[in-house]
Structure 1
């Protein structure tokens, strides 16, 4: 079983101004001359942390992490202004150009898989390969499953806590009801809704209950950005055309990709990964037994570290012992 690489600190940090009012936090770690990889975090609204760098061998990779608009260390916090999928794709291009990178590997989980696919389909010439986890295609049936009816049947106890901020008469459209509160002027109602929204995700993210994962999602600073930005994206169909990511998969058919997905992923069901793999000739699908959605679960973590080593081996033409 592969484990995460040791914790490392960035060798460079950047504050990159993009379209007002946003300033992005970007950092670089690992080897300055290594294979560039962009860690694309989830949410939207999740942000990066020290764990984000540890899936990659720092001797082989130039590791770039960034906090998307409105979250993590980017500013302003939890802002929805000028915050769409097209803006985030443009930000990734801006980062690539700012850092002088021709091509990079994209590494994204959950919403990070969504954004990585959308970017790669827009700019396939700038992508070496993709490593994706917990595939989220942002289709209406996926959002309905997790935020209206479906996952609720597997976790009825957690579901009661999720719907608690919403009066019974508004529960026919929970995303719109949450959006009203998360964008309203009542700060107490906003915080209550944000924590309930984020904790629902944290409590269902792992196959086995994880106190650390739940606490991560329950942090109110993080929860506010995640809940507001996720809800903003989801009520707007993630600013994607219907079935866009599967429809346009032919644009990346030539690119290699490794898809890692937990068999018991409740947040993003395995069907998503299966359908993407079926449509993408260059992809390899690894279904992880005894795992849910979280990248921190042992089987998922093992597969992701191995995938990063495998991609480095292929692209840098290393011997198995070196990779």
Structure 2
């Protein structure tokens, strides 16, 4: 019997598939029909945008029709939302899809990308698929960006530099002045991708925020998602804002109909759901104060501008398992952060239950 796996591209052997947070369905099979508090995937505890749900219900009878091939309705809505032109918008099947499209557009074997470390693993995945090299740059001890180290990591082989702000899994932000300094120190032919999946939760006035004039630069792109604030993680919709010349090249590697019809309709409606946005932001703001109380018990809580926080607990894997036995899901396993767990903000009640269980687990381990 022949073995065609011998013909697989050699660089694929080194790729580790993405490991998403444990699902509540998986845990329910293990623990039975107990209430599960799911705080491991940075999902919106308030659920999806009600306006999106209503728009989706109206659209269901049209499922026999193909979606708009280039997601033009979403592009136009996003352009109005940000005060830019539709030609500066690319829509994808979640941010993951767009990261892979960027990799396919720019990277060839032997090229390099620069990424903060720790940060979102999919930046490296896109590079590995294209047989490019990943150059991780450690964050500072307080988990903020080391701009000097990021600039020095850029070489003549660097094609892409990723920035995540607020950063996942730390929740820390890049300041506008730091961003400008970094751009002044790197070549203009390096594509700088700023992942702002959690920026809608942030309140730091000095942080990097999108300005329409930023897109006049030919080497900067801003990545957004409908999965977090708008609560549409199950639909998979993300978008990239960049110079129109860059966008038209990325379109050339995009699959036709890469975003389904229901996702497009839901995303457009969610953009106008001001009430859901306000309530989601208020919930995150309240949760920050709830988890900050852990510091009173000797636990380090990294100040977060996102809808989650990173907490130092000693043995992250042991705490994860202990909480899971209590039907509370958090996240651990980030390389270099073995003593931490990342906790997504839930409802006020869910947060209080998680905090009480966490303190009990940590106390029992000491």
TM-score by length of 2: 0.29
Q: Report which structure shows greater RCO (CA 8 Å, sep ≥6).
A: 2
The structure with the largest alpha-carbon Rg is: 2
